[in-house]
Amino acid sequence: MKPLRNEILACGEGPVLSREDDRAFELTYHFGKDFTAFAGHFPGHPILPAFAQLLAGECAMQTRARREVVLQRVKRAKFLKPIQPDQKITVCWREQPTDDGVQGSFTLLADGEKAATFTLVMTATGQADV
């Protein structure tokens, strides 16, 4: 079985899109019923666990940065609506530099409805892919 991070990265659809300005972005994901994170959460009524939602935000930022990012901490997180298999998941975020990395303020939309909001503080590792 491949690591969950790689599976999330593989579920990204299309390129990262810039939004209002050069610090706001969005990326769409499709997590089918066979997506690993749904297994056991909950049998017969699968929903995307909170940790997988946070990891989807981290992976979206990694995709945009074209280098690995490492989560340092979660500041504020609200999970507002269950995310089920085969919903269109749009991760929208705004980046802000910090002294030791970057902070991303995220909103996850499930079929266009707000499902979660959270802020992640991350650092980038390695060289950017060009």
- For residue 23, the model assigns a pLDDT of 87
> What's the rounded Cα separation, in Å, for the pair 115 and 103?
20
- For residue 1, the model assigns a pLDDT of 45
With beta carbons less than 8 A apart as the criterion, state whether 85 and 46 touch. Answer: yes
- For residue 129, the model assigns a pLDDT of 52
- For residue 27, the model assigns a pLDDT of 97
Which is more confidently placed, 94 or 19? 94
- pTM value is 0.91
Could you give the C-alpha distances from 125 to 40, 48, 62, 122, in angstroms and in order? Answer: 32, 27, 10, 10
Domain 4-124 class in CATH: alpha beta
Q: What is the pLDDT of residues 21-67, one digit of tens each?
A: 778 999 999 999 999 999 988 888 999 999 999 999 999 999 998 88
